């Protein structure tokens, strides 16, 4: 009996007892907290300026905060070589912190500066030019220590983009996209935005639209994505159809009416509407005044029921609050279709 008690005590101690100081070790290192604080202040200063020129004192403060954040992050790495968070933060500081960079006057965007002000102005820019490779090395170290955290991988992909390593950024983002079932919706949206950014920088609007649609599908409330889609839609020589959730969010933010096209896979008149009506220049031009939404009856039976759609194709026009303004049931030639839509539009 005594032996059993001794064994039980030993097992209990091994499983539940912690050595002295273990709770302190579980807390974030103080250097890491200090680095995060300095880094946040540095970014806040840059964001507050919004790309505008900074006075010399502001630039000096940004530089001081950058140096402070980097020194604290490196101190944390030295004291906690196995800390993924420390390497991750140092990588972020090096790759994405705002840095003050002196800009010759002839390159400055504001050419109205007085003669005596020219030497007093500097600009805050992203810090890709200095320390970028060192920052990426730190972030790769963090990924080796914490490979299962998608947020770290997203930060690494964004750092690659900041450092103008576009091909590597896209490769990283596509690998994340393939594993999206393991990511939260907001992370999927962020990944799609990265891929859209890559397409934008390659001047591929069709690919950019595709990825922005995915971003809007995973996070329909993102107003920046909605605004980018709206701008791209206005520039396209065709109708840009959005999902219901993304289109509704965009209509609310832009206060534009919605045109919802209810369609069905086996509907021949729907195919004819796509081919002969939605491709017409006058219909495309009229569509620019709406947020255009495509709903397939097999995907969103809830919307089919909610809008009481009885036949296909059916177009339902709503104002930005969701109030129905007009309905077109069945196929209509282009001229009739445009005339029906114009009945709910104010004069241009």
Extract the tokens encoding 132: 């970028």
Phi-psi region of 255 (alpha: psi -120 to 50; beta: other; left: phi over 0): left
Q: Cβ(100)–Cβ(63) under 8 Å? A: yes
What percentage of the chain's residues is helix, strand, coil (to nearest 5)? 60, 10, 30
- pLDDT tens digits for 60-114? 888 888 888 889 888 889 988 999 999 999 998 888 777 776 654 444 444 454 4
Distance in angstroms (rounded) separating the CA atoms of residues 320 and 288 = 15
Q: Could you give the angle at the alpha carbon of 343 between the alpha carbons of 341 and 347, nearest 5°?
A: 100
Alpha-carbon distance 89 to 326, whole Å? 54
pLDDT < 70 stretches in the chain: 1-28, 101-121, 125-131, 347-348
Look at residue 231 in the predicted model and tell me its pLDDT: 84
Task: Report the 10 Å Cβ neighbour count for 266.
Answer: 9
Task: Please give the pLDDT value at position 254.
Answer: 81
pLDDT at 98: 74
Domains of the chain, each with CATH number or no CATH: 30-109+118-144 (no CATH), 148-219 (1.25.40), 238-348 (3.40.30.10)
Query: What is residue 21's predicted lDDT score, i.e. its pLDDT?
Result: 40
**How many Cα atoms within 13 Å fall on the side-chain side of residue 115?**
0
Q: 236 CB contacts (<8 Å, ≥6 apart)?
A: 205, 209
Contact of 176 with 153, CB cutoff 8 Å: yes
What pLDDT, on a 0 to 100 scale, did the predictor assign at position 140?
Answer: 95
């Amino acid at each position: 009996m005594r032996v059993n008690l001794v064994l039980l005590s030993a097992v209990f101690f091994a499983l539940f007892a912690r050595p002295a100081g273990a709770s302190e070790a579980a807390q974030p290192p103080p250097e890491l907290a200090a680095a995060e604080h300095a880094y946040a202040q540095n970014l806040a200063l840059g964001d507050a300026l919004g790309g505008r020129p900074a006075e010399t004192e502001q630039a000096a403060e940004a530089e001081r905060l950058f140096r402070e954040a980097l020194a604290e992050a490196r101190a944390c790495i030295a004291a906690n070589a196995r800390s993924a968070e420390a390497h991750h933060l140092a990588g972020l500081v090096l790759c994405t912190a705002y840095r003050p960079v002196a800009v010759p006057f002839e390159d400055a965007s504001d050419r109205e500066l007085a003669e005596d002000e020219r030497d007093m102005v500097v600009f805050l820019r992203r810090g890709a030019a200095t320390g970028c490779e060192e920052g990426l090395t730190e972030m790769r170290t963090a990924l080796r220590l914490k490979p299962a955290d998608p947020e770290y991988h997203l930060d690494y992909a964004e750092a690659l983009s900041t450092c103008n390593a576009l091909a590597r950024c896209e490769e990283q983002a596509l690998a994340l996209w393939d594993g999206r079932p393991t990511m939260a919706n907001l992370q999927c949206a962020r990944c799609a935005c990265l891929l859209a950014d890559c397409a934008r920088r390659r001047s591929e609007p069709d690919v950019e639209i595709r990825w922005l649609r995915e971003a809007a599908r995973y996070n329909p409330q993102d107003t920046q994505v909605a605004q980018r889609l709206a701008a791209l839609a206005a520039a396209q020589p065709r109708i840009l159809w959005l999902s219901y959730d993304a289109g509704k969010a965009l209509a609310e933010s832009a206060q534009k009416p919605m045109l919802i096209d209810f369609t069905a896979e086996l509907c021949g008149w729907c195919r004819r509407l796509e081919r002969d009506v939605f491709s017409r220049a006058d219909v495309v031009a009229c569509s620019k005044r709406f947020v255009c939404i495509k709903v397939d009856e097999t995907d969103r039976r809830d919307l089919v029921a909610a809008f009481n759609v009885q036949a296909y194709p059916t177009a339902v026009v709503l104002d930005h609050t969701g109030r129905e303004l007009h309905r077109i049931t069945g196929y209509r030639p282009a001229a009739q279709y445009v005339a029906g839509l114009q009945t709910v539009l104010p004069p241009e």
